[in-house]
Structure 1
């Protein structure tokens, strides 16, 4: 039985990429992700490093001072699971720092590059409730659901 390659360095590269992500460093995505990597989050489902980089660059257009803090990471074979806090300031509405908590599942290919990236986070609780008008409606619906 062959032992799976150690992906510790690959995982460290992913953690570092997200911890230091800037508009400029988004272009380095091809050093971390395979050319045909699959990416999915609550708003996007794309394939390929150009499309993934576009999503990360768009994040810098949508919000101010975005950055990730990876709080936990676990590696098993060619797969890893990360939990993170995404901190940012909205360009409109409140200038208070916002935090979205989420998790990411990644799978590494034979070269140690990410071939699958799947984000899990609750868009309703973590984002929509923080918006002025929509947030009030979401909180009202949440309370009504508990009654």
Structure 2
């Protein structure tokens, strides 16, 4: 597996792609994002299957990569529609994935960094109003 193949995997990600994780991730891979911290392919696959159940039209676009022989940072945009709020309007979340690879070139460490407050909570109907008010109070 090459980093470019992994990027294509995410750029073309679909519900059927979840079954392809073993091609790119080691059996005991570690995954962490602001809401999850798991180890192992089944747990990682569960997170992405859950994503498809929670949002409509999810789509990743990797916009930048920084790599060396041991790992990579992928800058991405995640586009989606929320069924329960946001009037079905398209949303975008921006973040970065820190990846490390094992001796076989598979991902064995995947840590996602994104601002849950700005990218998610501020878009929620009730919580968003509170978060935006707090932001106004704290802005210099």
Q: What secondary structure does 1:24 align onto? A: helix
How do residues 63-78 of structure 1 correspond to structure 2 at under 5 angstroms?
63-78=55-70
Unaligned runs of 5+ in 2: none
Question: Which moves more between the two structures, 11-20 or 36-45?
Answer: 11-20
How do residues 1-147 of structure 1 correspond to structure 2 at under 5 angstroms?
9-94=1-86, 95-146=88-139
Give the TM-score, by structure 2 length: 0.96
Q: 2:85, 2:54 → 1: CA distance?
A: 12
Unaligned runs of 5+ in 1: 1-8
Q: How many residues align?
A: 139
Q: 1:56, 1:33 → 2: CA distance?
A: 13
Could you say what the CA RMSD is over the residues aligned between the two structures, in angstroms?
A: 1.0
Give the TM-score, by structure 1 length: 0.92
Hey, which bits of structure 1, 4+ residues long, moved more than 2 A? none
The superposition leaves residues 59-91 of structure 1 with CA deviations (integer Å, 9 ceiling, x where unpaired) of 000100001000001111111010000000001
Residue matched to 1:6? none
